[in-house]
A = this chain, B = another copy of it.
Amino acid sequence: MTSALHFLQLARQCEITELEFLQRTSALVDILGRLIHALQKERGLSMVYLTGRADPEALLTQIKECEPLANKARAGFDDLHIPTQGARLLSRIAYVLQGLDALPDLRDRIQSRQKTPEAAVGAFTKLVTGLLAVVFEAADGAADPDISRLLVALFHFMQGKELAGQERAAGVAAFGAGGEQRQQHWLHLIEAQERCFQVFSEFAPPTLLLQWRGEDATLERLRRVGCTLAVNIESGADLRQTWFDVATSRMDALHTIETQLAAEVLSQCESRIAQARQPLPDADVDADFFDSSPAPAASLGPQLNRSVLELVQDQSQRLQAMQAELETTRAALHERKLVERAKGLLMARRQLTESDAHKLLRQTAMNQGRKLSEVAEAVLAMADLLPPAPH
């Protein structure tokens, strides 16, 4: 027979264990952000190497920078000690490890020019997507509303930055060879980024938003030239390098914000843990359970000797309020999941590319004056009406 106070203390301990796991996860997310940044740069340099006649020196230097980060990420996975309810996170990690194991072989093929530029970009994008899925699970699993908000902001920022990285590669390709399809893809990447950064700005702390200025004029001019003009191949080669440099300095600027956001997550974890470790106030003789009002007591104030019943009620209300707030924050992740699932369905059943599936959803939303997530929900609800996938 265990007392109410004992279970109250267990609940406290449970919260602390969760926060400590969140702290380890956040440290991992920070490492993954750095690894992704290095892989993004390697992807860009691989593109430059494969589309031009440059020697692989810059690429080899970048690979050397990437390796210790990959090892740090592996060590981070090992040290996570994922509690129960972490099956999805673990399975995402298993997926990513396969990709990291296959990297050396990919690099050999790129250096010996056995890969097309598009295939090389696709391979890196696949690995980065896998790494971002790990970050997504971490954000989705956070049980503290404030930290969850920061992780939602961070995840969307990282996703937006990845699209900016894909844009860097797409721009290199478009300046290299032109073509309307490449330009369309480029426009799609710009627009998709903006949606991610929109969610980021809704959830990020104001101090970080101050650093988040719009794009600079040079980038916008290059975008305009690249996306609209039939680029002359000769001048294209010059523009390609200019574009790569401008896009790269933009990626570095984005990475600075990303790193600060990750540091903010970690510091929030620390202060929440310190807060949760505060001892419970001394509890006095019990009030009568049946005679006490179920109405909210004020939050834990300085007064001592409160009854166990009051402590239990306070704790219970605090946890409920946290849960309510969490649900609001997670709605942003939920909408993303809906859209991704609806896209996946359209890709499988109607043999569309990712970009075309997205366009179709967006066009439908615009035509019907509905939110993207509402259209996605409707598509999923109608799944049985779509023709089955051809074999």
Q: Is A244 an interface residue (CB 8 A)?
A: no
Known: A4-B94, A316-B92, A348-B296. A18 touches B84 (CB 8 A): yes
Known: A77-B2, A294-B126. A98 touches B308 (CB 8 A): yes
Per-residue B-contact encoding for A285-328, CB less than 8 Å = 1, 0 else: 01011100011100000000000110011011001100110010
Q: Which residue of B lies closest to A83 (CB)?
A: B84
CB distance from A305 to the nearest CB of B (A): 17
User: Are A99 and B8 within 8 A (Cβ)?
Assistant: no
Q: Which residue of B lies closest to A6 (CB)?
A: B94
Q: Is the interface of A mostly helix, strand, loop or mixed?
A: helix
Per-residue B-contact encoding for A49-86, CB less than 8 Å = 1, 0 else: 00000000000000000000001001101100011111
Q: How far is the CA of A105 from the CA of B287 in the complex (A)?
A: 12
Q: How far is the CA of A308 from the CA of B97 in the complex (A)?
A: 11
Interface size on A, residues (CB 8 A): 68
Q: Which residue of B lies closest to A99 (CB)?
A: B289
A71, A290, A308: most-surrounded residue (chain B CB, <10 A): A290
Q: Is A91 an interface residue (CB 8 A)?
A: yes
Q: Is A14 an interface residue (CB 8 A)?
A: yes
User: Are A316 and B99 within 8 A (Cβ)?
Assistant: no
Q: Which residues of the other chain, B, contact A83 by a CB distance below 8 angstroms?
A: 83-85
Q: Which residues of the other chain, B, contact A21 by a CB distance below 8 angstroms?
A: 84
Q: Is A90 an interface residue (CB 8 A)?
A: yes
Q: Is A273 an interface residue (CB 8 A)?
A: no
Q: How far is the CA of A78 from the CA of B3 in the complex (A)?
A: 10
Per-residue B-contact encoding for A12-23, CB less than 8 Å = 1, 0 else: 101101100100
